Copies of this chain bind each other. A is one copy, B any other.
Amino acid sequence: MTTELEKFSSGEKRLEGLNRWLVARLQSAIEGLPLDITLWDGTCLRGSTEPVVAHITIHDRTTLLKILLNPELNVGEAYTTGRMDIEGDLVALHNLYNQRVASAYPTPWSRLRKRLLDLRPNTLHRARGNIYHHYDISNDFYGLWLDQYMVYTCAYFPTSAATLEEAQIAKMEHICRKLALKPGETVVEAGCGWGALSLYMAQHYGVTVRAFNISHEQISYAQEQARIAGISDRVQFIEDDYRNIAGQFDVFVSVGMLEHVGRACYPELGATIHRSLKPEGRGLLHFIGRNRPLPINAWIRRRIFPGAYPPTLQETADIFEPWNFSIIDIENLRLHYAKTLVHWLERFEEATPQIRKMFDEQFVRTWRFYLAGSQASFLSGFLQLFQVTFTRNTYNQLPWTRAHLYQAMSPGKLQKEN
């Protein structure tokens, strides 16, 4: 017969055994990394003797167990719910994580997970849900930390000293130049965000634009901007899916939408571009991508971008090859995205007092973790930013070299017109 005391003591021993095992696993996971971790019982672990980039506190055993079982998902979950605290450089911490997992990927499990995710199409209905989740939360929130034009995609810094505002204008100008827009031409934009690029093209290049987006909040904002600028007759913002684009245009442009399309729908996107382009048409896709196929980060998929997938260049062939499109220029701007994220994260941190009034602390931590993690991913080469310019295969009218992309910008373009 065991007494209550013996039962308790044997349970304690089992837990002690579990603790020892967890600590050993954790120590091996951080081996060589410049960080230290304090556990709920005061246990301290150190990865290396170098100066640490972050002090981590894990507040309970269950959280540590979850993190060890699935770090990709549960490090983020633990931090954002406050069951784990991080003091120090969050970007550097993400960088360490990326470097460690990058060498392990792709694993058999990541390959399987990717295959399964690839099969899941973002139907019209599901796409709306995905976009609502991220983009419709509040224009005021985005206004607190984006630039004045509300551009929520990688900026282009002509010099590394450029401000975020200058860099977002330079990005729009860079895209217009790559497309060699001419006055009077027609443009369709798929996934137009808050409308900045469409407005810029109409104002500075004299083109007529039809822009599509399924985010209700963004389209309302963009329509209002067109009214204020007095160019609603030349820029039409339509709350609809890219698959419903009708008509034929000289130019197809899409900035930061392909990540949300999902691989299963690339043939449909390709068919849409083909259908929408005149025989002498050309286009540009700007998107987050990868060097090799990996499933999207599990935490990002759950908390930030459901249904999203950053493709390799090879995978985008499903868009271009069936229609014999000719790829004429690809530029990788990953370090520009890292820099964009430095600005966003700085502004976000400055705005946290206001953001806390709009949302709860978990929201603040979620967005901080996402912005810092993204910055680290672009910095460490875990994510890429591709701008792909393409034409119909027989189009011979593009500028002879790319030198025109690098001519000085007229000062007028650096001021907002409206």
Contacts and interface: CB of A to CB of B under 8 A. Distances in A.
Nearest to A156: B401
A82 B335 CA distance: 58
A49 to B, nearest CB: 24
A405 B402 CA distance: 9
A293 B322 CA distance: 10
A332 interface: yes
B326 A332 contact: yes
Interface in A29-88: none
Contacts of A26: none
A379 B400 contact: no
Tier of interface size on chain A: 35 or more
Nearest to A334: B326
Interface in A284-300: 291-293
Nearest to A381: B393
A47 to B, nearest CB: 20
B393 A324 contact: no
A270 B351 CA distance: 47
A334 B400 CA distance: 10
Nearest to A99: B394
A323 to B, nearest CB: 9
Contact of A329 (B314, B332, B393, B394): B332
Interface stretch (A157-165, A208-216, A255-263): A157-165
Interface in A313-333: 313-314, 317, 320-322, 324-332
Given A291-B320, A326-B381, 7 more contacts: A157-B401, A291-B326, A291-B393, A312-B317, A329-B331, A382-B393, A402-B405
